[in-house]
Amino acid sequence: MSEITERTPQAVSPAGGPSPGSAPSPLGRVLGVLARQREATVFIVAVVLLLYFGIKYNSTFVSQTNLSNLLSETAAPIIVIAIGEVFLLICGEIDLSAGFVFTFAPFLMHYLIDFYGWPAWPAIIVALLFGVVVGWFNGFLTVTMGLPSFITTLGTGFILLGLTLTTSHAYPANIPASTVGIGRWLGAGVWSQFIIAIILTVIFYLVLNRTRWGLYTIATGGNALGAREAGIKTGRIKYGNFMLTSTLGALVGLQTAWYTNTIDPSAGGYQPMFYAVTAAVIGGTAMLGGQGTIIGAFLGGIVLATLINGLNVAGISANPLDIVFGAAILLSMIANVRLARLRAAGRN
Amino acid sequence: MSAEPTPTPDPPAGPVTDAQGDVLRVEHISKRFGAVRALHDVNLHLGQGEVLGLLGDNGAGKSTLIKIICGFQPASSGKIFLEGQEVTFKSVDQARAAGIDCVYQDLALINELTVYHNMFLNRERTRWRLLANRSMKRTAKEQLDRIGVNIPSVDAEVAKLSGGQRQAIAVARAVTSNAKVLLLDEPLAAMGAKEGAMILELVKDLKQQGQVSIIMIMHNYGQALEVCDRINLLQHGEITFDKLVKDTSVQELNDIVIEEYRRALQERQQAS
């Protein structure tokens, strides 16, 4: 994990805060690593949780069925939506509607195939493109019309939910038979979702850290006016990231439909979206704009899924889970803010 | 400013450089923001290798003029000539491509990015669509060394640098983009004497190298006279003063400003 952010702490400005000098103690060194590597905290938490459940509930937790449940069914959807949310959070926006694109996309595929006689692939592609369109609309309302994205996506989320319930009469539908083969690769296969989540994580890690798009996303969130003065089209960046997030929402919706072998109007919604934002935040993405990490969101997704799955395996009631999540969000946010200050002070 | 002045078609007469040597000419630029007249029939020229100091009261239109020249916003009317060719810029990118670059008051630096990413912002080098970080890092370091800017590491996040270092990075970024005309919007604002001296030194070095012509917005007359070749004064959206530095003095500039205050005071008293 060491090459992730490539931060050099030696550049200390006179404006920096008081830096406690002296030789670093082991504890100080650990704090130093935590301060420099945004992802370090969540990495340690993920490892500790996996070890805890792995050792304590060895046979059940480490079984292939359980691990694939944990990683493919629970973690992967969180991770994939979180990737989009990280990009949006970095450029200072959020998408509350991604989970409702999740809900509607498989229905759209089902309508096109079963009511309009479309072949499988075009229907799948149009279902994904629907995500692009919703993202464009979110971008239009937020960037062009100037609404706060919290409100924009709250509105579009409700509209999408209503659209799903109206068109489906709130009844689940069967997976169109023609998509079952494709679905095995994209979602229904035991490891498909998790493998795709890993591939997307790697791709978007590169996009964020090694491409202009990523750089401009950070610039847009870090200093929007400055970015515009440098000639960066910040509006276009935001449009693009809204479109990315909605499309990932649509993808996860299709995958989940294949995995659960049903198209369910109660799937998706706010929960996967809020889990995704939670994963992003405990992974080290501050909602302050300009900062965020894809690897952190991936690990955050693993942490959430391990807790959800682990407590289940342990036979502990899932009721207190939300208390844990809430506390985790608050603690990691406090850590983010504090560590950011340490970083700013150039402490090593 | 009670009577509407008659617009003069030519730049104000004065001991100015000859038109042939001009890299930039701005003719009859006006800018309105709704009912507000920000600039009125501004004429300005900039000789090759010249450093022009643009002085004026707060709200006189200095930043507006700069932002028009560098393509950040359009003028309501008027023309801009770069090396004799008329140019119209629809964006900062176009102006930069033509060789006009601007360092804004807010520096347009991204705190969260490294020094070298900031220096290459919006003109990054890529290889197979991925950022060529190593190459950018090397070049940024070379360029900073060449113009004599001392930064602990080009890998550092800009947030960790001091005000003077940040200003220097912003200037270096503009210079190294092969700008022919460099616009500096109050490069010495909010800077201590030591840091300010570093920037003045940098401008002097650039002047000596002679590759770039500079328009600087300034407030401090002493500093302006030290580093500039010529001074233009912008008052209420019009250029009212154009003299070579050797033909003017801090005293004269001060007198003009004091006169302006006196008139403003009189107008207030008459109004009440």
What CATH number did the domain enclosing B249 receive? 3.40.50.300
Checking if the pLDDT of A298 tops 60, the result is yes
| Phi, psi of B215, deg, nearest 5 | -110, 125
Has residue B190 been placed in a domain? yes
Give the span between the Cα atoms of A110 and A105, in whole angstroms: 9
Has residue B97 been placed in a domain? yes
Kindly determine whether residue A16 and residue B107, on different chains, have CB atoms separated by under 8 Å: no
Range of the domain at B239: 19-107+178-271
Checking if the pLDDT of B117 tops 50, the result is yes
List, in order, residues 6 or more apart from B173 with CB less than 8 Å away.
Answer: B103, B118, B119, B120, B121
Through-space distance between the first and last CA atoms of chain B, rounded to whole angstroms: 17
Has residue A132 been placed in a domain? yes
For residue B97, how many C-alpha atoms fall within 13 Å in the half-sphere facing its CB? 10
Has residue A12 been placed in a domain? no
Range of the domain at A198: 38-344
Has residue A96 been placed in a domain? yes
Interface A-B: count of C-beta contacts within 8 A: 97
List, in order, residues 6 or more apart from A159 with CB less than 8 Å away.
Answer: none
Q: How many domains does chain A have?
A: 1
Q: Which helix (H) or strand (E) holds A85?
A: helix A76-90
Residues of chain A with Cβ-Cβ distance to B108 below 8 Å are 223, 225-227, 229-230
Residues of chain A with Cβ-Cβ distance to B165 below 8 Å are 13
Which CATH number goes with the domain that contains A45? 1.10.3470
Has residue A118 been placed in a domain? yes
Among B251, B252, B253, residue whose Cα is nearest residue B218: B253
B117 touching chain A per CB within 8 A: yes
Q: Angle at CA B172, nearest 5°, toward B171 and B177?
A: 105
Query: Among A17-21, B110-114, B141-145, B239-243, which stretch is predicted with the lowest mean pLDDT?
Result: A17-21
User: What does pTM read for this prediction?
Assistant: 0.81
Has residue B127 been placed in a domain? no
List, in order, residues 6 or more apart from B116 with CB less than 8 Å away.
Answer: B133, B136, B137, B139, B140, B141, B154, B155
Kindly determine whether residue A13 and residue B126, on different chains, have CB atoms separated by under 8 Å: no
Please check whether residue A283 is in contact with residue A335, taking contact to mean a CB–CB distance below 8 angstroms: no
If you average pLDDT over residues A91-114, what whole number do you get?
97
Has residue A282 been placed in a domain? yes
pLDDT tier, B164 (very low <50, low <70, confident <90, very high otherwise): confident
Has residue B6 been placed in a domain? no
Has residue B228 been placed in a domain? yes
- The confidence score (pLDDT) of residue A35 equals 60
Q: What is the DSSP string of A259-298?
A: HHTSB-TTSSTHHHHHHHHHHHHHTT--TTSS---HHHHH
Residue owning tokens 């959070």: A89
For residue B263, how many C-alpha atoms fall within 13 Å in the half-sphere facing its CB? 10
Residues of chain B with Cβ-Cβ distance to A291 below 8 Å are 112
If you average pLDDT over residues B119-148, what whole number do you get?
89
Checking if the pLDDT of A133 tops 60, the result is yes
Residues of chain B with Cβ-Cβ distance to A222 below 8 Å are 110-113
pLDDT tier, B152 (very low <50, low <70, confident <90, very high otherwise): confident
Checking if the pLDDT of A343 tops 70, the result is no
Closest residue in A to B134 (Cα) is: A210
Checking if the pLDDT of A13 tops 50, the result is no
Q: What is the DSSP string of A94-131?
A: --S-HHHHHHHHHHHHHHHHHTT---HHHHHHHHHHHH
Has residue B95 been placed in a domain? yes
Q: How many CB atoms are closer than 10 A to CB B37?
A: 15
Kindly determine whether residue A230 and residue B111, on different chains, have CB atoms separated by under 8 Å: no
pLDDT tier, A317 (very low <50, low <70, confident <90, very high otherwise): confident
Q: Is the ipTM of this complex over 0.90?
A: no
